[in-house]
Amino acid sequence: MHYNYIQELPYTNMISEVEVGKHLYWHIGDFYVHGQVFIVSWIVITMLLILSILGTRNLKRAPKGLQNFMEFVLEFIQDIAKSQIGEKEYREWVPYVATLFLFIFGSNWAGALIPWKIVHLPEGELSAPTNDINTTVALAMLTSLAYFYAGISKKGLGYFARYIQPTPILLPINILEDFTKPLSLSFRLFGNILADELVVSVLTLLVPLFVPLPVMVLGLFASAIQAIIFSTLSASVS
């Protein structure tokens, strides 16, 4: 764990922070942000945009190639939203669930497949954005906002009556539940991705040839599962 580098900074505003090794910081106003998280996030977003443009450029009635793959992904995400939200209301939430799933999936696999260590930075190294607690907390907070938006848009201010049901005694517990949901979402994703990268790094140092390969394959599978879990849980609370 690294703390000295943070102490050398003259002033930091950080809502949540878990330091593993060194990080590249960008100074924006009074804030210091993790530069390597933004770099890899922009790369992932750019790749997703390129794939979406290529896959929908020449749409055909009988899809094939990349268009066929894109439609398969869309149907998969629609099934997630439909199973968690319901037949009548799931369509308006498909873009949100799809954005979460594709960004998390792309970020996880970018960290597992691309050899970021060959890119040298002044501090820290490039890795999956989802192994940074700030990224996963931000995604979980978006889900919380979507959760409140869905409730208020459907029931108005009467939505908050749920906090005192079935009895006002449960008010503190019901409020605490809404705070624990984003925490559980963020720490589950962060912990699994960080643990996978640490295990692969340690095995690569100890046994650099064949032993890490099965763990890397398992990591790819686990990364995909984590994207499915996060998007599914987000849809279930939306």
Mean pLDDT, rounded, for 14-34: 65
Amino acid, single-letter form, for residue 181: K
The rounded radius of gyration (Å) of the Cα atoms in the chain is 20
Q: Global pTM?
A: 0.79
pLDDT of residue 45: 93
pLDDT of residue 189: 85
pLDDT of residue 197 exceeding 60, the answer is yes
What is the domain count for the chain?
1
Mean pLDDT, rounded, for 6-33: 58
Determine the Cα–Cα distance for residues 236 and 191; give it in Å rounded to an integer: 21
pLDDT of residue 2: 42
pLDDT of residue 102: 92
Q: What are phi and psi of 37, to 5 degrees?
A: -65, -45
pLDDT of residue 47: 93
pLDDT tens column, 37-80: 888 899 999 999 999 888 888 888 777 888 888 888 889 999 98
pLDDT of residue 221 exceeding 70, the answer is yes
- DSSP string covering 180-214: HHHHHHHHHHHHHHHHHHHHHHHHHHHS-SSTHHH
CA distance readout (Å), 196 to 17, 150, 181, 213: 19, 34, 23, 12
Local confidence band at 211 (pLDDT 50, 70, 90 cut-offs): low
Question: Which domain covers residue 174, as residue numbers?
Answer: 4-237
